[in-house]
Structure 1
Amino acid sequence: MRTDNPGAHAPILAALLGLVSVQSGAAIGKAIFPLVGPEGVAALRLGMSALILLVLLRPWTIWRQANIADLLGYGIMMGLMNLLIYRAFLYIPVGIAVSIEVIGPLSVALLSSRRRTDFLWIALSAIGLILLPWGAGNGGLDLRGVAFALAAAVAWGLYVSLGTRVAIHGKQAVASGMLVAALLGVPLGTIQAGSQLLDPHVLAVGLSIALLSSTVPFLLDMFAMHHLPPSVFGVLLSASPAAGAVAGWLILGETLNPIQCAGITAIAGACAGAALIGRRK
């Protein structure tokens, strides 16, 4: 149904802005790897995001009635997602790493379904994965980066599964998970980067990464999810691989060949198709 109300498009715009924010924060994080390394960037993102969400959401209000084991598992997977994907960024382009990573939640969605059409999305995502290494030089993609991205995909899939158990607690569950993730990631980042994490320039960039990668998209997504059907929101999020590739190109100068772009498009299409067809589930 057509509407002349400009505000009707606000949730879609919010979801897209959240997507751009996340991938821009990821690319900016990779840009300061020479200063603090991937674990250092993860520590900055998780630590500062946890502090912001602690102030905004006061997660301790749910700790008495929540299942602590589920919250711990949820937070640990959140921390591993960040640590592993930043380590993947060290070896392969951001767009390719994100494309591999989204296979995790896509797999969770497909495995929980019993529709025949899901085989199409499985095949499409497999084709996308096969296309990604093409044209990446004589040696192909660095296998270390692929391995870390696949591990991040597993962590993201488990994060989604555990998230369904703690979702009853809403935003406070996310803030609690971020706190657990920070307790995992900050010590590892401190071991790698040491006192460099306290450099004013690094802290300023770290705050921007935390805001772009966690706080801002979290608030935008909450607004979007409140107004959009899950299928529409899922289709919008399927653009994550493409957004990662564009952010990597604009911020880091990472270029991909047409075949790799086709692989990213195939994986994004599989995510969009799974979200659309699964709208009745």
Structure 2
Amino acid sequence: MQNSHLTAVLFMVLSMVAYQISASFAKQLFEVLDPLTVVTLRLCFAAILIVLMFRSWKIIKRLPYLRWKDLLLYSGSVCLMNVLFYASLGKLPQGIAVGLEFLGPLTLALLSIKQRSDYLWVLLAIIGVALMVPWQDATAHNFSYLGAAFALGAGICWAIYIYYGQKVVRQNIGMHALSIAIVLSALVMLPISAVHHPEALLKTEYWGKALLIALLATAIPYALDLMALKRLSKLSYGTLSSLSPALAAIAGFFLLKEQISLWQCIALVCIMLASIGVTFRSKQDPDAL
């Protein structure tokens, strides 16, 4: 059980690392394509990748017998989370967008607390995120209240994604659940983008980067998330998600040469302590899994 739990934590960390790297690539692509086109290309390429990876045509015969309410809500949360987060990235600095989005899983973690001692880890995560997010940029010209609303909406969708993701994994259809969610999301977004920005979708010179973003932002992290959700509680997943802003800062430091302030270093310590605390607490408490 201990190895299983630590493996789930590793899956989450790898998922968040891939997602933060992809977010940086996506933000670069926004210089030539609008966010709606980027997320549509990402979902379309991801749908192809995931169906091929998991040979999801095998699930076709079982489709009439699946619990579609949970699947549709899971799929809808995946689609809206992508659209809203990319819309926020187009209007906000990445650190603020990630920090505001994280309020969704953090709220879910707070609602899932059953022991008073767990408040310590969630409080540390809150302090860490508050110190990590570059709030001083909120007074700069590149801050947008609409972008903040998009990020908060993405956070709500993230919480729904966690909740229904745990229900979906209990249907025992493995990674085919992810295939269904991504294919449905792509089918919804493709006609919308085709109406609003048809010429942007056909700019094939950007398809290579969109394919890379699809791999890093969808195929890899969502598959790892589903494996993690089999083994983690909503409290554990929500608190461990506080690593996202921290990983974004670390990725920015190494990949973009962005400096990390003293307060952000303190934030990293708080977030790491929260993640370690909730991980080992869950290992010792079977009911937390």
- Matched with 1:20 is 17
Return the offset for 1:15: 5.7
- Matched with 1:41 is 38
Task: Output the amino acid matched with 1:114.
Answer: K
* Contact 1:28 1:251 (8 Å CA) reproduced: no
- Matched with 1:209 is 213
- Matched with 1:240 is 244
CA displacement 1:40-74 (0-9 Å, x = unmatched): 11111111111222233234343122111221111
So what's the TM-score if we normalise by structure 2?
Answer: 0.77
So what's the TM-score if we normalise by structure 1?
Answer: 0.79
* Distance change in 2, residues 1:195/1:262 (3 Å): farther
- Matched with 2:84 is 84
Greater shift in the superposed pair: 82-91 or 19-28: 19-28
Aligned: 1:136 with 2:141: no
- Matched with 1:3 is none
Give the whole-Å Cα distance in 2 for the aligned partners of 1:265 and 1:148.
Answer: 28
CA displacement 1:149-189 (0-9 Å, x = unmatched): 11111001011111122112321111111122222333343
* Distance change in 2, residues 1:12/1:266 (3 Å): closer
Return the offset for 1:229: 6.3
* Distance change in 2, residues 1:273/1:185 (3 Å): farther
Return the offset for 1:242: 2.0
- Matched with 1:5 is none
Give the whole-Å Cα distance in 1 for the aligned partners of 2:271 and 2:194.
Answer: 35
* Contact 1:96 1:264 (8 Å CA) reproduced: no
Give the whole-Å Cα distance in 1 for the aligned partners of 2:153 and 2:275.
Answer: 19
Return the offset for 1:262: 4.7
Task: Output the amino acid matched with 1:154.
Answer: I
Return the offset for 1:98: 2.0
Aligned: 1:145 with 2:159: no
CA displacement 1:52-103 (0-9 Å, x = unmatched): 2223323434312211122111101000111111111112222332233233
* Contact 1:70 1:165 (8 Å CA) reproduced: yes
- Cα RMSD between the aligned structures? 3.4
Give the whole-Å Cα distance in 1 for the aligned partners of 2:137 and 2:41.
Answer: 30
Give the whole-Å Cα distance in 1 for the aligned partners of 2:247 and 2:85.
Answer: 15
* Contact 1:49 1:215 (8 Å CA) reproduced: yes
Task: Output the amino acid matched with 2:81.
Answer: M
Gaps of 5+ in 1: 1-8
* Distance change in 2, residues 1:273/1:42 (3 Å): farther
Instruction: Decide which of 168, 182, 186 is 2:186's aligned counterpart.
Output: 182
Give the whole-Å Cα distance in 1 for the aligned partners of 2:91 and 2:256.
Answer: 13
* Distance change in 2, residues 1:61/1:117 (3 Å): farther
Give the whole-Å Cα distance in 1 for the aligned partners of 2:159 and 2:127.
Answer: 20
Aligned: 1:162 with 2:161: no
* Secondary structure class of the residue paired with 1:35: coil
Return the offset for 1:259: 3.6
Greater shift in the superposed pair: 164-173 or 14-23: 14-23
Total equivalences in the alignment: 270
Return the offset for 1:206: 0.9
- Matched with 1:195 is 199
* Secondary structure class of the residue paired with 1:114: coil
* Distance change in 2, residues 1:266/1:198 (3 Å): farther
Gaps of 5+ in 2: 1-5
Percent identical: 32
